[in-house]
């Protein structure tokens, strides 16, 4: 099994982290855009089991966040 998608995901999170630390807006935008392209590319070449795992985690996170939002008094 190729782990290229993990390399792309790691690079994308690294680029996004570096982009958040940048002070100039154009550099921040360019680096975060490169990070999101790598994230999408890594997800596209990932095996189907990783697609299912990411989908299950994202649905669980959405459910958890909606429960937490209902508990916060406004």
Q: Angle 25-45/4-21 helices, nearest 10 degrees?
A: 160
**pLDDT reading at 72 higher than 60:** yes
For the chain, helix, strand, coil in percent to 5 are 85, 0, 15
- Give the pLDDT confidence of 5-45 residue by residue, as tens digits: 999 999 999 999 998 888 899 999 999 999 999 999 999 99
Task: Over range 48-59, report the average pLDDT.
Answer: 92
User: What is the reported pTM?
Assistant: 0.71
**How many domains, the chain?**
1
How many Å separate Cα 70 from the centre of its chain?
Answer: 25
- Is 43 within 8 Å of 51 (Cβ atoms)? yes
- Please give the residue range of the domain that contains residue 49: 4-71
* Res 15: pLDDT: 93
pLDDT band at 74 (very low <50, low <70, confident <90, very high): low
């Amino acid at each position: 099994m190729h782990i290229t998608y993990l390399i792309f995901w790691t690079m994308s999170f690294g680029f996004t982290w570096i982009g958040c630390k940048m002070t100039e807006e154009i550099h921040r935008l360019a680096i975060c855009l490169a990070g999101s392209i790598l994230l999408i590319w890594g997800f596209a070449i990932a095996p189907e089991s990783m697609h299912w795992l990411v989908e299950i985690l994202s649905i669980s996170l959405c459910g958890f966040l909606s429960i937490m939002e209902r508990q916060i008094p406004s």
